[in-house]
């Protein structure tokens, strides 16, 4: 009862990284609260395959739901798993990844349980809350912290009365760390039929293509990122050229993605990927909070911008006042010259 | 085949073009400095609905939007582009709603307006919150299936899937009206992480559409002429009626110029589940984030400066 739960997303028999990141965070939250960490894994043919990918993060209890209809993921059966499990176990906190699955599942579960859900949190903390209207004080609430309003402000959200307190978090925001490779957690193989009525299996997946990620933004030591200031899709070509020379990956700000200059999976920021490269070269990126939230922990930040007041310049280690068209070819030229 | 389609649309502040005056010195949002627009992905949703209307004549596309009087602009805009009509869901009791209370109000309105709805379509998310929660939450409240991140509707037909019982996730049968499934199903293409999926679901169901789906068709001039005087009662100056308007006779002759408007009481909504009272999430505080400024080295784009930077990075083994 009152434990911290993490819904583990599984592709085939592979537990997704974002889930392991959340297990790590969940362990810390559980320690602060003095409760246990529990994990939920639902899929098909996963028993015996996922335990070693979950328990080492400090999971005290793992609930496995293994049935044919649970993979690939569809909304209603997974909702039924969580809703009925939560009615039984009454968790105080539930975390899930803010990717397509988590953002499909989280709201559905919160709607069924009438519990609050905060999407795309960038930070989670435990703390007290005083409700000035009803004069009540709450201890140990989950602070769900996220940029809001297009990334112009940061809001702290709490769910004082309803449980579980639910939050989704993007991939890369938290760091995955194995607590103990031999951590002794209990594994419970649940009877799926007790949780998921036959009538819930309504979506038929006719066809499915999943490709391994085309880029390796999360793990890249050097990232060249372009913003709206790149001007066009063609403008990004020179970034690819620079990235090739530096053995870097190309990323983009949300404004550039929205404008169609770059693919969605290149988006860095609160609603994209969070990255921590050694070197981050921001080209024509103004630096909205929602972008900065996803790259501020980079080692060295270089900003190339013709607006010397661009907000990103305040967090940059090097500011180059100039246009991307002018500076990027020079970076390529002098890198080639000096690296020989 | 005729379909009853509800499109959920929201009027949002245009957070994509935020100027320096968008925030007040106290750190709250200065809404008056931001233009109000049709939430972009809701336009993609509208287009999917209008395509079905093109394909199946006799289909009705009805917009529901929740907001203050000025949000009726969204209904007019949708009508200019091809929607049949719409409802403004407006009441002080809805104020301060989080996504859950919003979805409760919308679900209640849908039951009231269109108990035999076939399809509910909305944008994946609104740009002022980016939560993507309302679509799935409405679906759950209505006990309907959902397909999110939709890229394209491939087909709708009478056929393969037949279920005669719609249930909620609690496994409890819903009240009769949602059980009338007529054996129709929909096939859609959707985005998933790292790929695409083609899925089939029985109707009725809820779809949320991505911004990368087909853009919405433009306004139709004839429709603009026909519907430009459409008004919701909430938009009239306080204490006046349609009879007090300069073109009062027109509103008599053409009832379609009066847009539907629904209050909390009209849809029999439970006050405890509406607005602030019905919102489990509370905003504890809001701050303007000031990032810790670093001491930056400021360079120009000159050959000398760029060359120097590259040498420095190479020396520190940061690159190369």
Smallest CA–CA separation between A247 and chain B, in Å? 8
Q: Which helix (H) or strand (E) holds B202?
A: strand B195-202
Smallest CA–CA separation between A67 and chain B, in Å? 17
A102 and A164 together in one domain: yes
A240 and A102 together in one domain: no
The CATH fold assigned to B4-273 is Rossmann fold (3.40.50)
pLDDT > 90? residue A37: yes
A255 and A172 together in one domain: no
Quick check: is A142 in a domain? no
The minimal CB distance from A153 to the residues B99, B287, B291 is found for: B287
Mutate to test the interface with A, among B20, B169, B287 (most CBs of A within 10 A): B169
pLDDT in tens, A179-235: 999 999 999 999 999 999 999 999 999 999 987 767 789 889 999 999 999 999 999
pLDDT > 80? residue B217: yes
pLDDT in tens, B19-73: 666 666 655 566 677 889 999 999 999 999 999 999 999 999 999 999 999 999 9
Q: How many residues does chain B have?
A: 320
pLDDT in tens, B295-314: 889 999 999 999 999 999 99
Quick check: is A209 in a domain? no
Q: How many residues does chain A have?
A: 340
Q: What percent of chain A has pLDDT over 70?
A: 99
**Residue where a domain terminates, one of A146, A165, A200:** A200
Q: What is the CATH number of the domain that holds A179?
A: 3.40.50.620
Quick check: is A214 in a domain? no
List, in sequence order, every beta strand (DSSP E) within chain A. Answer: 4-8, 10-11, 14-15, 37-43, 61-66, 93-97, 117-121, 123-131, 136-148, 153-158, 165-169, 186-189, 204-210, 222-226, 249-252, 279-283, 300-305, 318-321
The minimal CB distance from B187 to the residues A83, A111, A206 is found for: A206
pLDDT > 60? residue B265: yes
Which chain A residue lies closest to B295 (C-alpha atoms)?
A317
Quick check: is A307 in a domain? yes
Mean pLDDT of all residues belonging to chain B: 88
| Sequential DSSP letters for B233-297 | GGGSPTT--GGGSTTHHHHHH-GGGB-EEE-TTTTT--GGGSTTTT-S-EEEEEE---PPPP-PE
A244 and A112 together in one domain: no
Smallest CA–CA separation between A178 and chain B, in Å? 25
A48 and A181 together in one domain: yes
Range of the domain at A290: 222-339
Mutate to test the interface with B, among A9, A76, A118, A136 (most CBs of B within 10 A): A76
A251 and A315 together in one domain: yes
**pLDDT score at B176:** 32
A78 and A193 together in one domain: yes
A175 and A60 together in one domain: yes
Helix, strand, coil percentages, rounded to 5, for chain B:
35, 25, 40
CB contact under 8 A, B100 and A99: no
Quick check: is A207 in a domain? no
A191 and A296 together in one domain: no
A179 and A299 together in one domain: no
Burial of residue A189 (CB within 10 Å: 0-12, 13-18, 19+) is: exposed
- State ipTM: 0.86
pLDDT > 60? residue B316: yes
Q: What is the CATH number of the domain that holds A228?
A: 3.40.50.1220
- pLDDT tier for residue B162 given thresholds of 50, 70 and 90: very low
Q: How many domains does chain A have?
A: 2
A43 and A167 together in one domain: yes
Task: Tell me the three state secondary structure of residue B220.
Answer: coil
Quick check: is A332 in a domain? yes
Lowest-confidence segment of B37-46, B103-112, B170-179 by average pLDDT: B170-179
Residues of B in contact with A229 (CB under 8 A): none
The tokens describing A144, both together, are 């769900």
Smallest CA–CA separation between B13 and chain A, in Å? 9
Checking DSSP bridges between strand B297-300 and strand A318-321, what pairing results, if any?
A: parallel
pLDDT in tens, A315-332: 999 999 999 999 999 999
CB contact under 8 A, A108 and B139: yes
A106 and A33 together in one domain: yes
The minimal CB distance from A112 to the residues B145, B170, B299 is found for: B170
**pLDDT score at B166:** 42
**pLDDT score at B29:** 63
Quick check: is A256 in a domain? yes
Which chain A residue lies closest to B128 (C-alpha atoms)?
A149
Quick check: is A208 in a domain? no
CB B130 within 8 A of CB B10: no
């Amino acid at each position: 009862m009152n434990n911290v739960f993490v819904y583990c997303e599984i592709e085939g028999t592979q537990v997704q990284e974002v889930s392991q990141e959340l297990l790590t965070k969940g362990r810390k939250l559980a320690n602060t609260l003095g409760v246990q960490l529990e994990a939920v894994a639902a899929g098909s043919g996963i028993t015996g395959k996922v335990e070693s990918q979950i328990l080492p993060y400090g999971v005290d209890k793992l609930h496995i739901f293994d049935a044919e209809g649970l993979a690939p993921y569809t909304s209603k059966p997974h909702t039924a798993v969580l809703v009925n499990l939560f009615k039984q176990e009454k968790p105080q906190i539930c975390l899930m990844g803010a990717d397509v699955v988590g953002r499909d599942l989280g709201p559905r579960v919160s709607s069924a349980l009438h519990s609050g859900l905060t999407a795309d949190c960038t930070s989670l903390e435990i703390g007290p809350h005083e409700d000035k209207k009803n004069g009540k004080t709450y201890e140990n609430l989950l602070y769900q912290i996220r940029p809001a309003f297009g990334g112009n402000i940061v809001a702290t959200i709490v769910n004082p009365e309803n449980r579980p307190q639910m939050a989704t978090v993007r991939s890369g925001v938290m760091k995955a760390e194995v607590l103990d490779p031999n951590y002794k957690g209990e594994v419970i193989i649940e009877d799926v039929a007790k949780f998921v009525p036959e009538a819930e299996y309504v979506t038929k997946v006719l066809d499915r293509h999943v490709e391994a990620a085309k880029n390796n933004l999360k793990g890249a030591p050097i990232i060249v990122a372009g913003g709206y200031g790149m001007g066009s899709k063609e403008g990004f070509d020179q970034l690819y050229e620079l990235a090739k020379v530096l053995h870097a990956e190309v990323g983009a700000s949300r404004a550039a993605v929205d404008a169609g200059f770059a693919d969605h999976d290149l988006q860095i920021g609160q609603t994209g990927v969070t990255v921590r490269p050694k070197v981050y070269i921001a080209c024509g990126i103004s630096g909205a909070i929602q972008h900065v939230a996803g790259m501020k922990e980079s080692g060295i930040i270089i900003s190339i911008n013709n607006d010397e007041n661009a907000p990103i310049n305040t967090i940059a280690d090097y500011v180059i006042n100039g246009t991307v068209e002018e500076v990027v070819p020079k970076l390529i030229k002098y890198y080639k010259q000096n690296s020989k | 085949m005729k379909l009853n389609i509800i499109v959920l649309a929201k009027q949002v502040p245009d957070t994509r073009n935020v100027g320096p005056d968008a925030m007040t010195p106290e750190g709250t949002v200065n809404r008056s400095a931001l233009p109000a627009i049709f939430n972009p992905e809701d336009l993609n949703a509208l287009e999917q609905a209008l395509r079905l209307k093109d394909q199946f004549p006799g289909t009705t596309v009805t917009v529901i939007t929740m907001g203050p009087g000025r949000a009726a602009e969204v209904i007019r805009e949708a009508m200019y582009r091809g929607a049949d009509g719409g409802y403004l869901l407006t009441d002080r009791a809805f104020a301060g709603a989080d996504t859950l209370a919003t979805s409760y109000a919308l679900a209640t309105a849908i039951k009231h307006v269109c108990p035999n709805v076939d399809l509910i379509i909305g944008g994946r998310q609104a740009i002022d919150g980016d939560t993507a929660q309302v679509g799935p939450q409405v679906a759950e409240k209505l006990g309907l299936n959902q397909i999110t991140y939709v890229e394209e509707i491939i087909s709708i037909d009478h056929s393969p899937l037949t279920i005669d019982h719609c249930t909620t996730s609690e496994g409890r049968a819903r009240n009769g009206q949602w059980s009338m499934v007529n054996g129709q199903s929909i096939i859609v293409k959707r985005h998933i992480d790292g790929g695409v999926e083609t899925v089939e679901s029985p109707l009725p169901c809820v779809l949320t559409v991505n911004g990368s789906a087909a853009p919405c068709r433009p306004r139709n001039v004839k429709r603009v002429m026909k519907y430009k005087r459409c008004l919701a009662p909430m938009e009239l100056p306080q204490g006046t009626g349609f009879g007090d308007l300069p073109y009062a006779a027109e509103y008599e002759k053409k009832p379609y110029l009066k847009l539907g408007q629904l209050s909390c009481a009209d849809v029999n909504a439970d006050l405890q589940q509406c607005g602030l009272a019905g919102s489990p999430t509370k905003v504890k505080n809001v701050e303007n984030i000031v990032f810790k400024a670093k001491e930056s080295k400021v360079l120009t784009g000159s050959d000398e400066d760029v060359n120097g930077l590259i040498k420095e990075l190479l020396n520190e083994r940061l690159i190369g």
